[in-house]
C-alpha cells in the first residue's frame, strides 16, 4: 500500500509540474477516441470519416476548452445523420436542442459526461458513469448522465434504422420522421436505463456522504447492485434484452474504475479514526475525524558535507578519480566549489512513514522513522546542477 | 521581507478569482430578485423554444393526417389544449429554474462573503 501511495504522490507531483503538457495530451486522446468511435459506429459521411480530419479536430480540441469537444462530437454526429438523410439530421438537431435548452444549460460544467456516457455505453461499460458521477459529483449529475443516455439511444436508433432510411425515397420524409421518433419514444430500454442511472447516481451520492466507515466502497457496491437490479427488473417488464454476462463484466470493470477514483480522491485510514466530543456555549459537538492515508514523495536529503582542501593542481586528477570510485561505495558526493575545494556530500533518500498521525497525536519519534529509509550515495560531479532542488544543503 | 501569510492569502484569492469566483462575482452583481427574475425569464424563453420545436415535430410527425383533419377539428379547443400544455410546461420549468437559481444565488453569496472576508484580512495585513 505504501508503494501505491508513493506512486500516487509521484504521479501528482509529475502532473502538477507538467500540467501544461499533460492536460492537452489527455484532451487530445479523449477527443480522438470519441471522434473515432463516432466515425466507426456511424460513418455515413465518408468525407469526415477520415483519420486526418479526426487528428486535426482532436488537435484543435487539445488546446480549446473542454466544451468544444462536446460541440465537435455533436457536429460529427449531426453530419453523419445529415449524410444519411436530412430528416434524421432534423430529429438529431431537435433532440440536441431540447437537451441543451431544458437540461444542459444548468449543468454546463458536466457537458463532458453527456459525451462520455454514450461512448462508455458503446464500449459495453454503461455502469461506470453513474457510479463515478455519484462518487465525484452531486445528485444533479443525474441530469447530465440521463442526457448522455438519450444521446446514446438517439445514435442507436439512427444506426438500427439506417438501412430502412436508406431504402426509403425522398418523398417519404414524414415516414422517416415517424420511424425515428417512434424508435426513440417507444424505446423502453432507454426509459429503464434513465431511471436506473438516475437512481444509481442519487443512491451512490447519499451513501458516500454518510458517516460510516468505508462509505465510498459501500456506495459503489450498492450503486452497482441497484443499477443491475433495476435493469434486470426493466428487462423482465419490458424485455430490453439485457445480457447477464455483460452486466457482470460491466460491474467488475466499474468496481475497478471506481476503486481507482477512490484511491485518488478519498483514501482514508479507518484504523486511526478518532471520535471526540466537546461543547461550546450553544452546541455539543460529536466529531469523527478520519485521517487521510498519505505519504510524502521520497526525497534526497544532504546529511553531512565534509569540506576537504584540494591537493596541488598537478596531482588533482588522479586523486579525484580514486576518490570518486571509492566514494561510490562509502556514500559520498563530490561538489567542486569556486575556491577550488571539494566537498564530500553524504545523502540519504527518505522513504517516509506509512501515514501521518492524526492531529494531537504526532509521534515524537516520527522524524527518526521518516529518515529511516534507504541510504543512497550519489557520486556524480553534476549533482549540484541536476538535483539541486531536492537537496537541503547544510553549510 | 516577504510576508508568507499575505502571499498565501493572495494566491488563494487569485485562484478563486480565476476559477469559480468569476461566475460568483457575476451573480453577486445582482440583487437576489433581479438575478432570479432574469434567469426565470431566460428559462421561460428556452421552454417556449423547446415547446415550439416539440409542437413542430408533432405536426410533422403525421403531417398529411394533420392537414386533412385541420378543417374538421375544433380549432379553438385544439388551441386551448396547446396553450394549456404550454402553460404547464412553462410553469413547471419556471418553478424548477426558480429553485435552482435561488440555491445558486445563496451559494454564490456565501462564497463571496468568504472572499470579501479574505479581502478585509489582506487589507488589515497591509495596514499593520
Task: Give the number of beta-carbon pairs within 8 Å between A and B.
Answer: 32
SS3 at position A375: strand
The residue with cell 464500449 is: A123
Task: With CA atoms as reference, report the closest residue to A381 among A339, A328, A333, A346.
Answer: A333
H helices of B1-128, in order, are: 4-18, 20-28, 32-61, 63-69, 75-127
Residue among A101, A177, A181 minimizing CB distance to B46: A101
Q: Searching chain A, which residue's CA lies closest to the CA of residue B23?
A: A109
Mean pLDDT computed over every residue of chain A:
78
For A97, the closest chain B residue by CA position comes to: B50
Residue-wise pLDDT for A208-249, tens only, equals 998 888 888 999 999 999 988 888 888 888 776 777 788 888
pLDDT at A385 over 60: no
Tell me the per-residue pLDDT of B46-79, one tens digit each, with 9 for 90 and over. 999 999 999 998 888 878 888 888 888 888 888 9
A297: left (phi over 0), alpha (psi -120 to 50) or beta: beta
Low-confidence ranges of chain B (pLDDT < 50): none
Burial of A55 (0-12, 13-18, 19+ CB in 10 A): middle
Q: What is the pLDDT at residue A383?
A: 40
- The pLDDT tens digits for A354-373 are 444 444 344 433 333 333 33
3-state secondary structure A30-95: HHHHHHHHHHHHCCCCCCCCCHHHHHHHHHHHHHCCHHHHHHHHHHHHHHHHHHHCHHHHHHHHHH
Residue to mutate among A94, A103, A139, A173, with most B CBs inside 10 A, is A94
Q: Is the pLDDT of residue A326 over 80?
A: no
What is the ipTM for the molecules in this complex? 0.81
Q: Are strands A284-289 and A342-350 parallel, antiparallel or unpaired?
A: unpaired
pLDDT surpasses 90 at A75: yes
Contact flag B53-A181 (C-beta cutoff 8 Å): no
Using CA atoms, how far apart are residues A51 and A36, in angstroms rounded to an integer? 8
Q: Do B60 and A102 touch (CB under 8 A)?
A: no
The pLDDT of residue A293 is 79
CA A388 to CA A293: how far, in whole Å? 29
Question: Is B51 in CB contact (< 8 Å) with chain A?
Answer: no
Quick: pLDDT tens for A99-154: 998 888 888 788 889 999 999 988 888 888 999 999 998 888 899 999 999 999 99
CB-CB under 8 Å, A178 with B63: no
When pLDDT is cut at 50, 70 and 90, the band that residue A25 belongs to is very high
A353: DSSP letter: -
Residue B16 is predicted with a pLDDT of 87
Whole-number pLDDT of residue A381: 39
Burial of B4 per CB tally in 10 Å (0-12, 13-18, 19+)? exposed
Cell, residue A245? 454476462
- Mean pLDDT for A22-28 is 92
* pTM of the predicted model as reported, rounded to 2 decimal places: 0.74
Rg (Cα) of chain A, in Å, rounded?
30
CA nearest to A127, candidates A31, A209, A248: A248
pLDDT for the residue A298: 65
Report pLDDT for B66. 82
Give yes or no for a contact between A95 and A180, defined as CB atoms under 8 angstroms apart.
no
DSSP per residue over A177-225, as a string? HHHHHHHHHT-HHHHHHHHHHHHHHHHHHHHHTSSSTTHHHHHHHHHHH
Report, as an integer, the average pLDDT of A170-185: 85
Cβ atoms within 10 Å of A254's Cβ, excluding its own: 24
Average pLDDT on A63-87 reads 91
CB burial of residue A132 (10 Å; 0-12, 13-18, 19+): buried
Residue with cell 444521446: A151
The cell for A241 is 434484452
pLDDT of A357 reads 41
Whole-number Å distance between alpha carbons of A201 and A266: 18
Nearest CA in chain A to B60: A174
Q: What is the pLDDT of residue B109?
A: 92
Which element (helix H / strand E) includes A343? strand A342-350
Average pLDDT over residues A189-207: 92
Sign, Cα dihedral of A80, A30, A68, B111: positive
- A281-297 pLDDT, tens per residue? 888 888 888 888 777 76
Sign of CA dihedral A323, A328, A330, A334: positive
| Burial class (CB within 10 angstroms; exposed 0-12, middle 13-18, buried 19+) of B112 | middle
Examine the pLDDT at A166 and tell me if it is beyond 80. Answer: yes
Pick from A349, A345, A246: which is nearest to A296 by CA? A349
Return the residue in B15, B38, B57, B105 with the most chain A beta carbons within 10 A, the one to mutate for interface testing: B57
Amino acid at each position: 500500500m505504501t508503494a501505491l501511495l508513493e506512486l500516487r504522490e509521484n504521479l501528482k507531483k509529475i502532473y502538477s509540474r507538467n500540467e501544461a503538457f499533460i492536460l492537452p495530451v489527455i484532451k487530445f486522446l479523449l477527443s480522438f477516441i470519441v471522434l473515432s468511435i463516432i466515425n466507426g459506429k456511424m460513418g455515413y459521411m465518408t468525407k469526415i470519416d477520415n483519420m486526418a480530419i479526426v487528428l486535426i479536430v482532436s488537435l484543435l480540441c487539445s488546446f480549446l476548452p473542454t466544451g468544444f469537444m462536446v460541440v465537435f462530437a455533436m457536429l460529427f454526429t449531426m453530419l453523419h445523420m445529415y449524410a444519411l438523410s436530412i430528416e434524421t439530421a432534423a430529429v438529431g438537431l431537435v433532440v440536441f436542442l431540447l437537451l441543451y435548452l431544458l437540461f444542459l444549460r444548468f449543468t454546463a460544467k458536466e457537458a463532458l459526461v453527456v459525451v462520455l456516457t454514450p461512448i462508455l455505453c458503446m464500449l459495453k461499460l454503461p455502469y461506470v458513469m453513474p457510479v463515478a458521477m455519484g462518487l465525484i459529483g452531486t445528485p444533479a449529475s443525474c441530469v447530465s448522465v440521463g442526457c448522455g443516455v438519450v444521446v446514446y439511444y438517439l445514435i442507436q436508433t439512427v444506426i438500427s434504422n439506417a438501412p430502412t432510411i436508406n431504402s426509403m425515397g425522398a418523398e417519404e420524409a414524414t415516414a422517416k420522421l415517424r420511424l425515428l421518433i417512434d424508435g426513440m419514444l417507444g424505446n423502453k430500454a432507454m426509459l429503464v436505463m434513465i431511471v436506473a442511472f438516475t437512481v444509481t447516481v442519487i443512491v451512490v451520492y447519499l451513501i458516500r456522504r454518510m458517516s460510516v466507515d468505508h462509505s465510498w466502497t459501500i456506495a459503489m457496491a450498492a450503486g452497482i447492485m441497484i443499477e443491475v437490479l433495476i435493469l434486470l427488473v426493466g428487462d423482465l417488464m419490458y424485455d430490453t434484452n439485457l445480457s447477464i454476462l455483460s452486466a457482470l463484466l460491466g460491474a467488475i470493470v466499474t468496481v475497478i474504475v471506481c476503486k481507482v477514483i477512490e484511491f485518488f480522491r478519498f483514501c482514508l485510514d479507518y484504523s486511526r479514526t478518532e471520535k471526540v466530543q466537546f461543547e461550546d456555549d450553544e452546541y455539543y459537538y460529536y466529531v469523527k475525524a478520519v485521517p487521510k492515508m498519505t505519504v510524502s514523495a521520497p526525497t534526497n536529503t544532504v546529511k553531512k558535507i565534509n569540506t576537504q582542501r584540494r591537493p596541488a593542481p598537478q596531482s588533482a586528477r588522479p586523486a579525484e578519480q580514486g576518490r570518486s570510485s571509492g566514494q561510490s561505495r562509502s556514500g559520498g558526493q563530490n561538489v567542486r566549489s569556486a575556491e577550488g575545494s571539494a566537498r564530500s556530500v553524504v545523502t540519504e533518500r527518505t522513504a517516509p512513514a506509512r501515514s501521518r498521525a492524526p492531529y494531537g497525536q504526532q509521534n515524537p519519534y516520527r522524524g527518526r522513522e521518516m529518515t529511516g529509509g534507504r541510504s543512497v550515495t550519489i557520486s556524480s560531479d553534476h549533482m549540484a546542477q541536476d538535483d539541486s532542488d531536492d537537496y537541503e544543503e547544510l553549510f | 521581507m516577504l510576508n508568507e501569510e499575505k502571499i498565501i492569502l493572495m494566491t488563494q484569492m487569485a485562484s478563486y478569482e480565476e476559477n469559480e469566483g468569476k461566475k460568483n462575482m457575476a451573480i453577486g452583481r445582482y440583487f437576489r430578485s433581479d438575478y432570479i427574475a432574469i434567469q426565470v425569464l431566460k428559462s421561460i424563453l428556452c421552454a417556449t423554444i423547446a415547446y415550439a420545436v416539440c409542437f413542430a415535430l408533432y405536426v410533422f410527425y403525421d403531417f398529411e393526417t394533420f392537414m386533412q383533419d385541420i378543417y374538421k377539428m375544433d380549432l379553438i379547443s385544439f388551441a386551448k389544449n396547446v396553450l394549456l400544455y404550454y402553460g404547464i410546461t412553462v410553469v413547471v420549468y419556471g418553478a424548477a429554474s426558480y429553485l435552482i437559481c435561488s440555491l445558486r444565488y445563496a451559494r454564490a453569496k456565501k462564497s463571496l462573503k468568504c472572499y470579501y472576508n479574505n479581502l478585509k484580512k489582506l487589507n488589515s495585513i497591509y495596514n499593520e
